[in-house]
Structure 1
Amino acid sequence: MTSRRELLARTGAAGVGIAFAGAVGELFTGSSAAARGMGTGAGYGPLVPDPTGLLDLPEGFAYRVLSRTGDPLRSGEGPVPGNCDGMAAFALGRGSVALVRNHENRPTAKYPVPAIDGLTYDPGAKGGCTTIHLDRRGEVTDERVSIAGTAVNCAGGPSLWGTWLTCEENEDRAGTNGYTKDHGFVFEVDARDPYRSGAVPLTAMGRFQHEAVAIDPRTGVVYETEDAFASPFGLFYRFLPAKPLGGPGSLRAGGRLQAMRVPGVADLSSVQETGTVFHGIEWVDVPDPLAAQTPIRDQDFGPLGITHGQKLEGCYWGGRSVYFVCSFARAADGSAATHFGQVWRYDPQARTLKLVIAFGPDTDVQLPGEEPDNIALAPDGGLMVCEDGEGVQHVYGLTRGGEVYPMARNAQNIGTPEAPEWGEFAGVTFSPDGRTMYVNAYTPGTTFAVTGPW
């Protein structure tokens, strides 16, 4: 399949931007800043090359490296683990912040998350989370393991009560790849005291290739994405907690797991026209949430089947709706059609699903940018989008007015001078006061704090 990067090489395009179609303003529904009419500017100007070769930013912005893979953890527990991925920032009081960070480590990880008594689920697994503590000046005061022994911790999402829900993008069983326990779960991580949450899988939320979660603040319903790039593709789920909005540990009480069915649509990639709305969205009970014999996405959902989507990734709540990202779909992989990224909006009250944004060279091959992944609301009411495609990797800003601008560019070449490569961005999030953007370069694992005239 021809990628956007190959198209750019053929056409000689050199611009920096992102191609999309759709009503970008819909992505900001209900954000307080957007309601005030903010988030409509055109960005902060061109990116300035970083003389140290780490992170390119617009003029007036600066970064601080908070953590790098391989350096010693402040706790003395071992080196900083690799493959830095999803992340969230939590207020600790007096301006201090806890930054909880995923590590998407597989069994072959060079820098695993150190196994710590009381925080380790499976000694045979290399993934988990670390937490960076920052004082009110943004200085690192501590960095330590907050959960270990989990597998391929990709994304997740913050709860409504100040904890992090870390997701395993893996469904290996005990006895495979060195694992001693089943994987494919969500775990809750307490940002203040990880021993309080421990390493307990939230089994009722399902065992599958989890990506991200978002919670409806009115009902406590948890929405979950499944990142499956091989057929059968992933599903979009909702979890109805037995104790909704119950606070730390309440998700352990169990609940009901359901998958989304869009009537008449077997594969979301078949929908190509932005603005398309589906009514009467259905939710079907998952036959076996623990996938004891068969992966959930391949289970029997009855004669009407279920709706699949390739690479369902980022997920967040905005206004009265939940938004989720389909990073890409490829017909060559078995999808109904090919696209370079979609953003969908589900309105629980109206029971409608709408294709809000479509990315890709069919819109404008002169503008690079493909495969959107993590998304975060920005202080000005806009969005920040992590790019996870080929070639140069960016964090892009999207304004309510439809303007797209580069916010950061990964300058760390992990290839060669003749054949350069750059790792993806992940985990973009903002400090509780909105003054600092935190973001990870996945490879080499680097956590940045970006400040400037937001």
Structure 2
Amino acid sequence: MSLDRRSVLRGAAAGATGVGLATVGAVPTLAEATPAPRHSPYPTHRPFPPLMDDPKGLLALPPGFKYTIVTRAGETKLKTGQPSPAAHDGMAVFGAGRGHTLIRNHEIGSNNALGVPQLEGTVYDPGVGAAGGCTVVSVDRDGTNRGEWVGISGTLTNCAGGHTPWGTWLTCEETESKANGTTRLKDHGYVFEVWADGETAHPVPLKALGRYAHEALAVDKDKAHIYLSEDASGPNGLFYRWSAPAGYRLGKHSWRDLADVDFGTLEAMAILGDDGKPIPDVAYLTSAQLLRPFRVAWVPVPDRDAVSVSCRRQFTDGQVTRGKKFEGVFGTDDGVYVVNSYAKSGTSDLPADAVPHDGMVWFYNYKARTIQLVTYFPENAAADQGAAAKYNDYNFDGPDNVTVTPWGSLVLAEDGNASSHVLSSTPGGPTYAIARNMLNDSEFTGPAFSANGDVLFVNIQSPGITFAITGPWRDYLG
């Protein structure tokens, strides 16, 4: 579908007065970082100081911060004796008495020597090609490992997910792979619920939430909707909403109902332009629309189990709004954040007349039923220059996982071309590096704060390391 991009921008500019220059990302110096707009409804915070290199060559952190290694793939052990699995990804933190409990994904897409062990009672697909899953880790207040075990196994490419209000983790398979009778004995591309107690396991696909390349999700405060992202291309992925039947509220027994593919309603998002028609792709919007609310419509998915056609391919470009790499999702009482990682110049993932970018963060408001662009990374050529961009703590690109801090700001995990960072971001305002991967080029994943704000847990995906970072978080974020 062709789009008169100027008609979108013309109407948006009036709603973005005073905001159009508030782009973030790729800031040249901390002193020059653009302040949050005066009318921004989001909190501000102090700039983080420059990062200090780690003598151990793992994590560069600001002065006053330190880390503990919680698990490391192949080195730390499960309670059952097997080595900790590889490919750490999405993660959530739950309170547990005098410590914390982590539930963590392992994004493994095939048979792997460091796959998640298929332990009795935890297995969905017993095929040798289903080596993904989740582990659960008990830690003390500072992040010291007190034991690790399998929460679910026999799944595939567990990427991100989302916590529930009743204290469980919904893990997402980022795949559309179907059973092949040999390495995969069941269809994949589902969401599964994982418990933190070490005793409960229901490895049952929640088919009501659809079968597609899931990335992450969030349950709304009313326990009546779930918002889900899709990381896919050819065509680009979608942002979805599952709605419960009238009067139904989600809870700890809902996995039984969600196992029914026809339970509730699954819809895809359409961001409406000034002419009332869906904007075909988020890349048609830029920093000129920062904080401008757009109306949203939701379009039913015809066949959510994608029996013969992928969910995203069941729509024409004139029905929904697509986006390259819909990634991290995190909910608040008022709405839900969702990330688009990038849309590069000269690729088939960037529609004609759209604007390349290196990252977007959106906020969907439950009550207003509108969506706003709250953080924008313009395409950054320096971030694509390989070695020249390494150890540069101002070349930001490729935001992926997202979490909301106890103080209301955002933490983003990068999966880009320059050095991988953990970022602190104020919606509508500046972004700062708070950690840098010194070990390798692997992405950061799964950022999650403890409820009291004392510890930030985060992973380096490869080889698979979970860190607990402590320090004066309140001095900068509180």
So what's the TM-score if we normalise by structure 2? 0.81
Matched, 1:259 2:268: yes
Give 3-state SS (helix, strand or coil) of 2:179's partner: coil
How far 1:77 moved relative to its partner? 4.4
* CA–CA distance in structure 2, aligned partners of residues 48 and 25 of structure 1: 32
What is the identity, as a one-letter code, of the residue corresponding to 1:220?
A
* CA–CA distance in structure 2, aligned partners of residues 42 and 278 of structure 1: 27
Task: State whether residues 19 and 363 of structure 1, in contact with CA within 8 Å, keep that contact through their aligned partners in structure 2.
Answer: no
* CA–CA distance in structure 2, aligned partners of residues 156 and 304 of structure 1: 29
How far 1:443 moved relative to its partner? 1.1
Distance 1:176 1:323, change over 3 A: farther
**How do 1:249-288 residues align onto structure 2 when only pairs under 5 Å count?**
249-253=253-257, 254-262=263-271, 263-272=277-286, 273-275=288-290, 277=292, 279-288=294-303
What is the identity, as a one-letter code, of the residue corresponding to 2:360?
Q
**How do 1:346-425 residues align onto structure 2 when only pairs under 5 Å count?**
346-361=364-379, 367-399=394-426, 402-413=429-440, 422-425=441-444
Deviation readout 1:187-229 (Å, 9 max, x if unpaired): 0101124x4242111001000000010121035310000001x
* CA–CA distance in structure 1, aligned partners of residues 447 and 38 of structure 2: 20
* CA–CA distance in structure 1, aligned partners of residues 461 and 400 of structure 2: 12
* CA–CA distance in structure 2, aligned partners of residues 356 and 137 of structure 1: 32
What is the identity, as a one-letter code, of the residue corresponding to 1:259?
A
How far 1:364 moved relative to its partner? 9.4
**Which residue number in structure 2 is paired with residue 4 of structure 1?**
none
Matched, 1:340 2:349: no
Matched, 1:119 2:125: no
**How do 1:52-451 residues align onto structure 2 when only pairs under 5 Å count?**
52-93=56-97, 95-124=98-127, 125-136=130-141, 138-175=143-180, 178-193=183-198, 195-228=199-232, 230-242=233-245, 244-253=248-257, 254-262=263-271, 263-272=277-286, 273-275=288-290, 277=292, 279-300=294-315, 304-330=318-344, 331-336=346-351, 337=354, 338-361=356-379, 367-399=394-426, 402-413=429-440, 422-451=441-470
Task: State whether residues 35 and 430 of structure 2, in contact with CA within 8 Å, keep that contact through their aligned partners in structure 1.
Answer: no
How far 1:265 moved relative to its partner? 1.1
Task: State whether residues 290 and 428 of structure 2, in contact with CA within 8 Å, keep that contact through their aligned partners in structure 1.
Answer: no
Give 3-state SS (helix, strand or coil) of 1:334's partner: coil
* CA–CA distance in structure 2, aligned partners of residues 18 and 395 of structure 1: 19
Distance 1:79 1:26, change over 3 A: farther
Distance 1:431 1:453, change over 3 A: same
What is the identity, as a one-letter code, of the residue corresponding to 1:354?
Q
How far 1:21 moved relative to its partner? 8.2
Task: State whether residues 221 and 244 of structure 1, in contact with CA within 8 Å, keep that contact through their aligned partners in structure 2.
Answer: no
**Which residue number in structure 2 is paired with residue 9 of structure 1?**
none
* CA–CA distance in structure 1, aligned partners of residues 212 and 39 of structure 2: 30
Give 3-state SS (helix, strand or coil) of 1:252's partner: helix
Distance 1:452 1:22, change over 3 A: closer
Give 3-state SS (helix, strand or coil) of 1:87's partner: strand
How far 1:319 moved relative to its partner? 4.3
Give 3-state SS (helix, strand or coil) of 1:297's partner: helix
* CA–CA distance in structure 1, aligned partners of residues 89 and 46 of structure 2: 29
Give 3-state SS (helix, strand or coil) of 1:196's partner: coil
**Which residue number in structure 1 is paired with residue 8 of structure 2?**
none
How far 1:304 moved relative to its partner? 4.4
How far 1:261 moved relative to its partner? 1.9
Distance 1:285 1:28, change over 3 A: same
What is the identity, as a one-letter code, of the residue corresponding to 1:48?
M
Distance 1:18 1:110, change over 3 A: farther
**Which residue number in structure 1 is paired with residue 476 of structure 2?**
none
Alignment size in residue pairs: 421
- Quick check: 285-294 or 314-323, which moved more? 314-323
Task: State whether residues 395 and 418 of structure 2, in contact with CA within 8 Å, keep that contact through their aligned partners in structure 1.
Answer: no
* CA–CA distance in structure 2, aligned partners of residues 267 and 177 of structure 1: 38
Alignment gaps of 5+ in structure 2: 1-25, 258-262, 272-276, 384-391, 474-478
Give 3-state SS (helix, strand or coil) of 1:58's partner: coil
* CA–CA distance in structure 1, aligned partners of residues 177 and 342 of structure 2: 24
Give 3-state SS (helix, strand or coil) of 1:429's partner: strand
So what's the TM-score if we normalise by structure 1? 0.86
What is the identity, as a one-letter code, of the residue corresponding to 1:104?
E
- Quick check: 137-146 or 63-72, which moved more? 137-146
How far 1:58 moved relative to its partner? 1.2
What is the identity, as a one-letter code, of the residue corresponding to 2:439?
Q
* CA–CA distance in structure 1, aligned partners of residues 31 and 46 of structure 2: 16
How far 1:362 moved relative to its partner? 6.1
* CA–CA distance in structure 1, aligned partners of residues 249 and 144 of structure 2: 33
* CA–CA distance in structure 1, aligned partners of residues 79 and 444 of structure 2: 26
Task: State whether residues 97 and 136 of structure 1, in contact with CA within 8 Å, keep that contact through their aligned partners in structure 2.
Answer: yes
Matched, 1:49 2:53: yes
* CA–CA distance in structure 2, aligned partners of residues 68 and 207 of structure 1: 31
Task: State whether residues 142 and 470 of structure 2, in contact with CA within 8 Å, keep that contact through their aligned partners in structure 1.
Answer: no
- Identical positions, percent: 40
- Quick check: 172-181 or 218-227, which moved more? 172-181
Task: State whether residues 20 and 357 of structure 1, in contact with CA within 8 Å, keep that contact through their aligned partners in structure 2.
Answer: no
Alignment gaps of 5+ in structure 1: 1-12, 414-421
